[in-house]
Structure 1
Amino acid sequence: MSNPPFGFGPPDPDKRGENEPSDPGGAEAFNQLGQMLSQLGQMLSQAGSSAGPVNYDLAKQIALQNLSETGDTKIGFASSGDANTAVRDAAHLAELWLDAATILPAGATSTVAWSARTWVEKTLPTWQRLCDPVARQVSGAWMQALPEEAKQAAGPLLSMMGQMGGMAFGSQLGNALAQLASEVLTSTEVGLPLGPASTSALLPANIEKFAEGLELPSSEILVFLAAREAAHQRLFSHVPWLRQRLLATVEEFAHGITVDTSALEQLAGRIDPANPASFEEAMSSGLLEPQTTPEQKSALNRLETLLALVEGWVDVVVADAIGDRLPGADALRETLRRRRATGGPAEQTFATLVGLELRPRRMRAASALWKLVGDQHGVEQRDRLWSHPDLMPTAADLDEPLDFAERLGSGDVDPIAELERTEQGKAAQDKSEQDRQGGKEDTGDQG
């Protein structure tokens, strides 16, 4: 974790002196404290009564306000009508090309053009599922481990601190989402199903900014990105276990967050029950930075591997689908790869919000593996591996793709058919057991 999640890390040094009294014992200190409490009351009244570890009402307000101030509210192109038409036409063409590159059918029932504001509104429910476990674990860890004397000294301020923590997390989330919304190109750019199910979405205004300096026709860029979005949707729609597995792994990582309790003594010394600001300063001091556990490392490895497999498959399938149809396709493919490899906005925001940093090098390895499997065993065999998580390549397979391809093609046994037979046998065994139990009950009733 290179970027600590919600609530951790030192405060902004440029702003550290803004609210610090120059004379702690004088009238100025009391005036500043009164102003702070007044501002806190205003924030609480404006943010609503959002429950939970993150104030999502405040997050949405801040994100939309930031986008309005930067002007990132347009849908792109000449008008919203032109943008929607262009996006639908690009998606229709991309779907036709993808049909020949994968056995997975089209997954999106609608393709739409979003503004940055719409992206925030449509993806916020998924961000809530991703961020809640992290924020809840972070806030709960230090609260539970706080010494009893500190809890008693703080008294009712602890509940206020919980609300303030939710507001602080909401503020972080809002600022991060605003930044990402102004740069993300599609609804699936982070490799996760952030938007509504079966909906492909592109952000034409952001695509226009992305296209500046590429010296490629905007129509080519739009079709290429539409193909990537459509390929993601095929996976998320027709691989039933994938969406749940991705989100559940993030939750598993979050549940493993622990706090170094030895730092709590230093924390308690910094808290002044008469000064609510001391709570915020203590939490942002970095003393309670979470420790990475072996369980978290395991979850992180599984998540990175699965995301790499998703991105690698999309990369290969889109390249096969487009072929020589778009002269600039290879250049676009490499541009997007570098965008991911250099820690683009998607990776940076994901690391800030959830505490996870992806390793783009795994995506190139996954792309090479899917290409090898497709070349040696065909598209159908390659795509049927998605039918069950137990058939998917592992992190070790990404290191040795040739071994995986050889195992897949060795002998006359089809691993997919073998798995189906195993599942059918288990189902028959379960049914037989149920029938026996039913027979016993009938015999008992007759007796």
Structure 2
Amino acid sequence: MDAELVDWELAVTTARRLVRPGPQITREQAGEVVAELRRLAVDAERHVEDYTHLAPAGAITPINVVDRPEWVRSNVAGLRVLTTPLLGKLSDQQRGTFSTAVGRRVTGIQLGTALAYLASKVLGQYEVFLPPEEYLAGPDGSATPDAVGRLSLVAPNIAHAEATMGVVPRDFRMWVCLHEQTHRTQFTAVPWLRSHLESEITAFIEATDLDPDVLADRVRSAVAAVRGAVFDRGADSPSVVEALQTPAQRAVLDRLQAIMTLLEGHADQVMDAVGPRVVPTVADIRSKFEGRRDGGSPLDRFIRRLLGLDLKLQQYRQGGAFVRAVVAEAGVGGFNTVWESPTTLPTRAELADPTAWMQRVLGSRPSISA
């Protein structure tokens, strides 16, 4: 069997070498952070289910509290699963050209460098795509092959963020757990969501233009666009993620972005809706966290733009506004119609116009205020 086109082990090694150390706290303090995150994650699950009226089905997914190196390892494992179809396509069509132009070691270093940056930023995530051996549940380590994913909380990043912002640690930890548990509930309570997301990613891969000359032109154009957007602070310039797309990919990307905007916005809305009951200082946390999202040096903004992270900030805001508008008009029950099937998901245009989605999907149905 031919070697893979990405040196995954080198990506892990590079990221772990470059990632910044976490906050300087004692082993006892670190243990307290980990223990409380585990407790709060369990509590948050109940609060999310009570508010959303979404009940997880099937196997219970595990909760991991990790450090930065473990986050890197886990995400490389997930990326390896997610990109296997694309790399297989590259392997079949033009392995020699790709290996010459980029090289699996160079690609591994590039990936590791990006992950090293992200490893100090991410507070938590719900990992949807994992290799089979990663699906473990509970302290007994029993395998759950039908599990959907895994919730991971990055303890040093949470501890660093709460100290930097000067917020109440227990409240901030619960606030983060509410957001991530909402993502967990989305995928465990909506059986078709993971397979639909996977099919859209497959469609995106099928539309990928593998011509190295075309790709090189797009990279040059994308980097130029990003440089101008960051240092000129242009709001409408594309990220590399957007600028590299073919027309066919953009159509799929529109659907993928609509899904991710909905998921992020829903999690943001839930954490703020539940927050006042279980997070006494939620208003202070939200105010300070929004400032943290918007901040950063020119270099930080450049990296965010290069990796497409500015897109995620837009997703939180637009998606949150959509969910809040629908819940205000039709209640949580009316909003939950969004989870009935792929056809009830909002389009990108509808995310900016919640009334259009309600007219198309809810139609003459009575408003459900529950």
- Report the TM-score when normalising by structure 2: 0.73
Partners of 1:138 and 1:127 in 2: how far apart?
16
Residues 366/284 of structure 1: CA separation in 2 closer, same or farther (3 Å cut): closer
Q: Secondary structure at the match of 1:358?
A: helix
User: Equivalent of 2:11, from 56, 59, 62?
Assistant: 59
Q: Superposition pairs for residues 28-107 of structure 1, below 5 Å?
A: 51-67=3-19, 70-72=20-22, 78=28, 81-105=31-55
How far is the alpha carbon of 1:173 from its aligned partner? 1.0
Partners of 1:234 and 1:226 in 2: how far apart?
12
Are the aligned partners of 1:62 and 1:171 in contact in 2 as well (CA < 8 Å)?
yes
Deviates more, 1:93-102 or 1:214-223: 93-102
The answer to whether residue 128 in structure 2 is matched with residue 193 in structure 1 is yes
User: Equivalent of 2:76, from 116, 124, 130?
Assistant: 124
Partners of 1:404 and 1:160 in 2: how far apart?
43
Q: Superposition pairs for residues 174-213 of structure 1, below 5 Å?
A: 174-188=112-126, 193=128, 197-213=148-164
Partners of 1:64 and 1:221 in 2: how far apart?
27
How far is the alpha carbon of 1:182 from its aligned partner? 2.3
Which amino acid is the alignment partner of residue 78 of structure 1?
E
Partners of 1:346 and 1:232 in 2: how far apart?
26
Residues 136/295 of structure 1: CA separation in 2 closer, same or farther (3 Å cut): same
Q: Secondary structure at the match of 1:292?
A: coil
Residues 300/351 of structure 1: CA separation in 2 closer, same or farther (3 Å cut): farther
Residues 178/115 of structure 1: CA separation in 2 closer, same or farther (3 Å cut): same
Residues 338/240 of structure 1: CA separation in 2 closer, same or farther (3 Å cut): farther
Listed as ranges, the gaps of 5+ residues in structure 2 are: 136-147, 224-242
How far is the alpha carbon of 1:210 from its aligned partner? 1.1
Residues 258/285 of structure 1: CA separation in 2 closer, same or farther (3 Å cut): closer
Partners of 1:238 and 1:135 in 2: how far apart?
31
How far is the alpha carbon of 1:131 from its aligned partner? 4.1
Match of residue 428 from structure 1:
none
Are the aligned partners of 2:200 and 2:256 in contact in 1 as well (CA < 8 Å)?
yes
The answer to whether residue 254 in structure 2 is matched with residue 301 in structure 1 is yes
Listed as ranges, the gaps of 5+ residues in structure 1 are: 1-48, 145-157, 265-281, 415-447
Q: How many residues align?
A: 328
Q: Secondary structure at the match of 2:278?
A: coil
Residues 133/75 of structure 1: CA separation in 2 closer, same or farther (3 Å cut): farther
Cα RMSD (Å) of the superposition? 4.1
Which amino acid is the alignment partner of residue 49 of structure 2?
D
User: Equivalent of 2:326, from 373, 382, 387?
Assistant: 373
Partners of 2:318 and 2:272 in 1: how far apart?
16
Residues 121/176 of structure 1: CA separation in 2 closer, same or farther (3 Å cut): same
Partners of 1:299 and 1:343 in 2: how far apart?
31
Match of residue 103 from structure 2:
165
- Rg comparison, structure with higher value: 1
How far is the alpha carbon of 1:82 from its aligned partner? 2.4
Partners of 1:75 and 1:230 in 2: how far apart?
26
Match of residue 274 from structure 1:
none
Match of residue 239 from structure 1:
190
Partners of 1:312 and 1:381 in 2: how far apart?
16
Partners of 1:383 and 1:62 in 2: how far apart?
43
Residues 341/79 of structure 1: CA separation in 2 closer, same or farther (3 Å cut): closer
Which amino acid is the alignment partner of residue 182 of structure 1?
S
Match of residue 286 from structure 2:
333
- Report the TM-score when normalising by structure 1: 0.61
